[in-house]
Amino acid sequence: GKPAGDTFEGLPLIRTVGPDASQPRVKDKVVIITGANSPLGIGRASAHQFASHGAKAVYICDFDASHLETHKREITALYPSVDVHTRQFDAADESAVKAVVDEAVAKYGRLDVFFANAGIVGPHKVLSDVTDEEFMNVLRVNTLSTFLATKHASAAMLKTSPSKPNASGSIILTASVAGLRSNAGSTPYSASKAAVVSLAQTAAFQLAGTNIRVNALCPGLIETGMTAVVFEAARARGTEKKIGQLNPLKRGGVADEIARVALFLGSDDSSYVNGQAWAVDGGLSAGHPYVQ
C-alpha cells in the first residue's frame, strides 16, 4: 500500500520534486518553434511532440510558409485542444521575433518555451573559397536568430512568468555536433553552431537567479529537408548502409528523435538541466577517428 507518514520501513521517503508522472509533460505551456515548415524537419516533429504532450498553444514559424497551414490542420485534427498558430517571418529579423513573442504574451499572458530551431547549412566549400557574404549569411541565420530568440523570449519570461519573482521558462537553441567537434564540412556552419553553444552557456549564467533555462540541442546526422540530398544520393548509389557508419548506432537519425529531446528540454522534467549542449547523435561526438 501507499506509505503513510515521512518514512517507509524506517527510510525517509524519496523526495520527488519533479512533475506528476500522470500529467502531460508540457501541460498548458505556450511554445514558439522556428524552422517548422520543412515536412521532414525537426521543427515540425517538435510541434507534434509539444502538441501531443498537452501544450496550450504552439506557434509554428518559418520564413517559408508553404506547408505551415497544412501542419496546423494536421496537428489540430490530432490534438484538438491545442491552439496552433502559424507565422511567416525570418528568424533573424529582430522586430519579427519580438512581435511573435509579444503576440503570444498578449494572447496567453505567458511564454514557456522558445525553440529557436531555424537554420541553414553550408556552404560546403574549402575555406579559401568562402566569401564574406556567405560566411555572414550563415552566421546571421544560425547564430543571430538564436541570440534574438534568447533576448526576446527571456525578456518576456521575466515580465510575465506565472512564477514571479523567479520567472521560469525554457529556451532551446538548435546547434549541431558540428559546433562541438568538426570535420571537413563547412567552416561557416561549424563556427555558427559553436557560437550557438556558447550563447546557451552564457545566457544561462546571465539569467542566473531566475528559473529560465537555456540549452543547446546538438543533432548529429538526421534525415530532414536539410540532409535529404545526402540520404537520397546514398540510396541511389546503394550506399545508404554507409550513412551513419561513424556513430556507434551505425545509422542516421530521424527528426522525431531530436523532437523528443526538445520536448524533454522544454518540459519541467529537465528542471535542473541548464546551459548544456545536448548531443543527440547516436554517439558520434563521444568518439574520435580511429583507423583499424
Q: Which is nearer to ligand NAD, 112 or 281 (CB)?
A: 281
Q: What residues contact 267, with CB distance under 8 A and at least 6 apart?
A: 19, 25, 26, 29, 53, 170
Q: Which is nearer to ligand NAD, 167 or 203 (CB)?
A: 203
Q: Which is nearer to ligand NAD, 75 or 167 (CB)?
A: 75
- Report the alpha-carbon distance of residue 287 to residue 265 in Å, rounded: 24
> Which of 59, 108, 189, 290 does the annotation list as catalytic?
189
Q: Kindly state the smallest distance separating residue 44's Cβ from ligand NAD, in Å.
A: 8
Q: Which is nearer to ligand NAD, 111 or 149 (CB)?
A: 149
Q: Kindly state the smallest distance separating residue 12's Cβ from ligand NAD, in Å.
A: 43
Residue recorded with cell 518576456:
156
272 a catalytic residue:
no
Tell me whether strands 11-12 and 7-8 are parallel, antiparallel or unpaired: antiparallel
Longest distance between any two alpha carbons in the chain, whole Å: 70
- Report the alpha-carbon distance of residue 292 to residue 126 in Å, rounded: 28
Q: Kindly state the smallest distance separating residue 220's Cβ from ligand NAD, in Å.
A: 6
Tell me the residue nearest to ligand NAD as measured from the CB: 119
What are the backbone angles phi and psi of residue 276, rounded to the nearest 5°?
A: -105, 155
- Report the alpha-carbon distance of residue 112 to residue 124 in Å, rounded: 36
The residues binding ligand NAD (CB under 6 A) are: 34-35, 37-38, 40-43, 62-64, 90-92, 117-120, 141, 174, 176, 219, 221-222, 224-227, 255
Catalytic residue numbers read 189
